[in-house]
């Protein structure tokens, strides 16, 4: 899976991504600003910022922020959503491994929901370059719970049965042990907290179609996938909704 593929594979999914991807729990910034002692005026480079879900989190807390995103459609969505509301926000057409930012220009590099797409050796050198002395790197995901409930197990099986390249993408995600090794002695802390979306069927469908491995309309697997999703929802919905569970995992440290 090349860099161009990982960059462009969300271009046709921007609307669903904006509407149906989850945000992040307040506990994440409480941990960052509290025990991890990151100041609220720290300049953040949000790498792989996508449509701005993670950027909004930092901006609302008071951080100046530069959103680095190579996908033009996703970058435009972030600009439309955030630029009218936050003066200390700008976007850059750049990659994780070649951000285009100046040396020692930011205090916190953040990658939300994107680190598994990066060249983890190249980003280490690039992020070290753009961080000022004492700067920190934050990597975090909303990791879907695979077996926390019968619904979650059924959803995982649906992806295995109908996804295009789901298994190949899933294998890219770094587990906790891998992340600890990537930071090494620079690891300052890690956080694991629950995060849940309550979804009706339309939202569940949009959440599924926001995933790069979910076949879209016109694909031979699409209709069967949506039928399976209807059946899964009908089996497990309570009062017209299902609980879509995640664990938010975060890692913070230096890159010295």
Number of structural domains in the chain: 1
Other CB atoms within a 10 A radius of the CB of residue 168 amount to 11
pLDDT at 3 over 50: no
pLDDT at 31 over 80: yes
Question: Which domain covers residue 210, as residue numbers?
Answer: 3-253
Tell me if the pTM is above 0.85: yes
pLDDT at 72 over 90: yes
Nearest to 44 by CA among 81, 6, 84, 91: 91
Per-residue pLDDT, 7 = 55
| CA–CA separation, 83 and 59 (whole Å) | 11
Q: Tell me: the pLDDT tens digits for 172-200?
A: 678 999 999 999 999 999 999 999 999 99
pLDDT at 54 over 60: yes
pLDDT at 114 over 90: no
Per-residue pLDDT, 1 = 40
pLDDT at 30 over 80: yes
Average pLDDT on 59-79 reads: 96
Per-residue pLDDT, 40 = 97
Per-residue pLDDT, 137 = 98
Question: Are 137 and 131 spatial neighbours (Cβ–Cβ below 8 Å)?
Answer: yes
CATH of residue 114's domain is 3.40.50.150
Q: Tell me: the pLDDT tens digits for 76-104?
A: 999 999 999 999 999 999 999 999 999 99
Per-residue pLDDT, 9 = 55
Q: Tell me: the pLDDT tens digits for 200-237?
A: 999 999 999 988 889 988 999 999 999 999 999 999 99
pLDDT at 39 over 70: yes
Per-residue pLDDT, 170 = 66
Reading across the β-sheet that carries 187-199, which strands appear in turn?
Answer: 89-92, 65-68, 44-47, 106-112, 131-144, 242-253, 187-199
Residue-averaged pLDDT of the chain: 92
Per-residue pLDDT, 16 = 82
Per-residue pLDDT, 224 = 97
């Amino acid at each position: 899976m090349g860099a161009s593929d990982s960059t462009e594979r969300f271009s046709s999914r921007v609307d669903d991504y904006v509407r149906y991807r989850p945000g992040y729990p307040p506990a994440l910034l409480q941990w960052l600003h509290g025990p991890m002692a990151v100041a609220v005026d720290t300049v953040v480079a949000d790498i792989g910022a996508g449509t701005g879900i993670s950027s909004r989190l930092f901006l609302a807390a008071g951080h100046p922020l530069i959103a680095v995103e190579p996908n033009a459609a996703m970058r435009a969505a972030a600009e439309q959503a955030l630029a009218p509301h936050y003066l200390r926000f700008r976007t850059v057409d750049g990659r994780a491994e070649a951000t285009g930012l100046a040396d020692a220009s930011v205090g916190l590099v953040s990658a939300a929901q994107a680190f598994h797409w990066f060249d983890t050796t190249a980003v280490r050198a690039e992020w070290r370059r753009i961080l000022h002395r004492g700067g920190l790197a934050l990597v975090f995901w909303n990791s879907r719970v695979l077996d926390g409930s019968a619904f979650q197990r059924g959803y995982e099986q649906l992806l295995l049965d109908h996804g295009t390249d789901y298994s190949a993408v899933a294998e890219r995600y770094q587990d906790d042990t891998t992340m600890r090794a990537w930071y090494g002695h620079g690891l300052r802390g890690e956080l694991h907290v629950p995060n849940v979306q309550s979804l009706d069927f339309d939202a569940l469908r949009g959440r599924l179609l926001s995933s790069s491995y979910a076949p879209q309309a016109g694909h031979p697997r699409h209709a069967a996938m949506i039928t399976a999703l209807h059946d899964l929802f009908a089996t497990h919905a309570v009062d017209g909704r299902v609980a879509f569970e995640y664990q938010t995992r975060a890692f913070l440290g230096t890159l010295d």
